[in-house]
Structure 1
Amino acid sequence: MSDLGFFASDISGALPDLRSLAESLMRDKVRVTREGEPVTDADGFVTAANEVVYEGSAKWQSPSGWQRSQVGESDTATGGLELHLPFDASAGVHIGDVVECTASLDPALVGRRFGVADEFTKTLATARRFRVEVVGR
């Protein structure tokens, strides 16, 4: 086996421990919901029930890919926000779901809501990573 093959085998064997380590850094709490099927109440009002697809630990991170843009005479920096969730527990989270921060080490995040805009995938992932966009408070 080549050195590279041995390295990949080594990482694969260590992946459960690496995922556990990544999860230990997820100190905030979130609830991820998805709009469910419409429900009609006794008065005939139709509403969409929200289904909870994940509730638990999370970590927020700003990606390193900040972009600068110029609009007129204003120079602005735009980035984004990534949501990291435990790999195994969050397999049901998809693009279009809504994330609410329910507890955080940063009080400014609590109560904020974000839409899942994209999922980043890779081989040997230690966490599920999602690009999110603000949808409300």
Structure 2
Amino acid sequence: MSILNGSLSMGRRMAESRMLDECTITRPGEKAWDEELGEWITTQVVVYSGRCRIKHPSTVARDVEAGSQLLAVSFTEIHLPLAASGVMADDTVTVDASPTRVEQAGRQFIVTAPFDGSQSTALRFRVEAFDERRLA
């Protein structure tokens, strides 16, 4: 095994050891008519369920001007094991449990974009909050 492969393997183990949260990633599936409710119901397809890590890649927020408002923008990432696959933009991430921040359980995020690259230690996706903390 080359030095690069050894380092990469060690980096992947370290990345996964920091994935202490549990999350479920879903996307809309088929629609079915519910006679009782009299409306179409969309089933949710589970894309991934397991270990994850929610983090800010930078603690520094960036000021942006939107119309006549000055907003502070920071980005959040979700990290998944490399074995996870199939996650796409617009998927919904639900934090099921977070031992280090219990109040995170139940929070939802929307996947906006992947971070691509070779020699990755984890799958990383940019996400936006999709709950009461989301900016209008």
- Normalising by structure 1, we get a TM-score of 0.80
Shift of the 107–12 alpha-carbon distance from structure 1 to 2, 3 Å rule, reads: same
Q: Which runs of 4+ in 1 moved over 6 A?
A: 71-74
AA at the equivalent of 2:91: D
Inter-CA distance 114–72: structure 2 relative to 1 (3 Å threshold):
closer
RMSD value over aligned CA atoms? Answer: 2.4
Note the C-alpha offset of 1:85.
0.6
Q: Quote how far apart the aligned CAs of 1:10 are.
A: 2.1
Equivalent of residue 23 in structure 2, options 27, 30, 36 = 30
Deviation at 1:131, TM superposition (A): 0.6
What is the TM-score when the length of structure 2 is the normalising length?
0.81
What whole-Å deviation, never above 9, does each CA across 1:14-58 have from its counterpart, x for those lacking one?
433321221011001101001001123454642111011101111
Distance 1:50 1:73, change over 3 A: closer
The reply to whether residue 21 of structure 1 matches residue 40 of structure 2 is no
More helix by share: 1
* Partner AA of 2:23 in structure 1: V
> How far has the Cα of 1:69 moved from its partner?
3.1
Unaligned runs of 5+ in 2: none
Equivalent residue for 1:47? Answer: 41
Q: Does 1:127 align with 2:116?
A: no
CA distance in 1, matches of 2:17, 2:108: 23
3-state secondary structure, aligned to 1:108: helix
Output one character per residue of 1:63-101: Cα deviation in whole Å (capped at 9) or x when no partner: 22631235799764310111001111x211111100000
Return the letter of the residue paired with 1:37: E
1:118 aligned residue? 113
For residues 72 and 118 of structure 1, the distance between their equivalents in structure 2, rounded to whole angstroms, comes to 24
| SS, match of residue 123 in structure 1 | coil
Q: Percent identity?
A: 35
- Give the Cα separation in 1 of the matches to 2:90 and 2:67: 32
Larger radius of gyration: 1
For the residue of structure 1 that corresponds to 2:130, the secondary structure is: strand
Partner of 1:81: 76
For these two proteins, the number of residue pairs brought into alignment is 128
